[in-house]
Amino acid sequence: MPHSTTPHTYRQYDKELEDIKNRVLAMGGLVERQIAEAVDALVNGDVEKAEEVISQDYRVNAMDVSIDEECTQILARRQPTAGDLRLVMAVIKTVADLERIGDGAERIGRTTIRLSDRERPANTFDLIRSLSNHALGMLRDSLDAFARMDPEAALSVAALDAQADARYESILRQLITYMMEDPRNISWAVELIWVARALERIGDHACNICEYVIYLVKGKDVRHISLESMEQIVHED
């Protein structure tokens, strides 16, 4: 560590690292609430709630910028190495994934407003709600794995992505059927396909966060490898 390495300096440094971790978890909680509110607004046709979700997007963006700035300062001042450097890089990447999930909440809010005067196919909304619950569960568990630096928990979340994909494909098939039955269904069905895609992407972002956790603990990049290979790395001594 550059400059002074007194116990006070170490304590301050540890506090800074703990702070960025906690801020990531706070941002994750905000993003999770934004998505849940956006889906509620969509399912219930609640334009007012949708507008509130859209108006709150600035908070997610502000947290993104603020955490990035703090990480940049830590890199410049502390010049972290090994595990600490991996932590800072994992934070930077996790925040980027959370910001993209936040963008999805805003997009769903705008879709709700556009569909507010349209017919509402209840069974499709049930499937969207199910996909949302599954994806948000993955996000919540990935952030919990991040908080505890638990690669086993991270691996368990990554294994759930196939279920998110299956739910997305089920919605896609149903909406394509609606479009084939009546061309007048095309415009709203396409809107809902984009919603389903945004929710399926939450699962992908949650998996990304899990990959950062495994990288952080094991020191190995597990992007673009199979679940089986990831499992071998997690279980290595």
- Displacement of CA 3 from its chain's centroid (Å): 37
The pLDDT-based confidence of 7 (bands split at 50, 70, 90) is low
Average pLDDT over residues 47-55: 97
| Alpha-carbon span 53 to 72, nearest angstrom | 29
pLDDT reading at 1 higher than 80: no
107 is written with which tokens? 């997009």
Asked, for residue 63, whether it belongs to a domain, the answer is: yes
Asked, for residue 72, whether it belongs to a domain, the answer is: yes
The pLDDT-based confidence of 4 (bands split at 50, 70, 90) is very low
| Alpha-carbon span 28 to 97, nearest angstrom | 10
pLDDT reading at 17 higher than 60: yes
Asked, for residue 1, whether it belongs to a domain, the answer is: no
| Alpha-carbon span 121 to 144, nearest angstrom | 35
Asked, for residue 78, whether it belongs to a domain, the answer is: yes
Asked, for residue 44, whether it belongs to a domain, the answer is: yes
Which residue range(s) make up the domain with 142? 7-234
Instruction: Give 103-107 contacts, CB < 8 A, sequence gap 24+.
Output: 103/57, 104/35, 104/38, 104/198, 104/199, 104/201, 104/202, 105/31, 105/34, 105/35, 105/37, 105/38, 105/53, 105/57, 105/60, 106/34, 106/38, 106/53, 106/54, 106/57, 107/194, 107/195, 107/198
Q: For position 142, what pLDDT does the model report?
A: 97
Identify the CATH number of the domain in which residue 83 sits: 1.20.58.220
Asked, for residue 102, whether it belongs to a domain, the answer is: yes
**The most confident of 2-6, 62-66, 119-123, by mean pLDDT:** 62-66
Place of tokens 């948000």: 136
| Alpha-carbon span 28 to 6, nearest angstrom | 34
pLDDT tens by residue, 108-150: 999 999 998 887 777 899 999 999 999 999 999 999 999 999 9
Count of domains in the chain? 1
pLDDT tens by residue, 164-219: 999 999 999 999 999 999 999 999 999 999 999 999 999 999 999 999 999 999 99
pLDDT tens by residue, 206-223: 999 999 999 999 999 998
The pLDDT-based confidence of 3 (bands split at 50, 70, 90) is very low
Asked, for residue 2, whether it belongs to a domain, the answer is: no
Supply the pTM of this predicted model: 0.92
| Alpha-carbon span 5 to 18, nearest angstrom | 18
Asked, for residue 28, whether it belongs to a domain, the answer is: yes
84 is written with which tokens? 């600490």
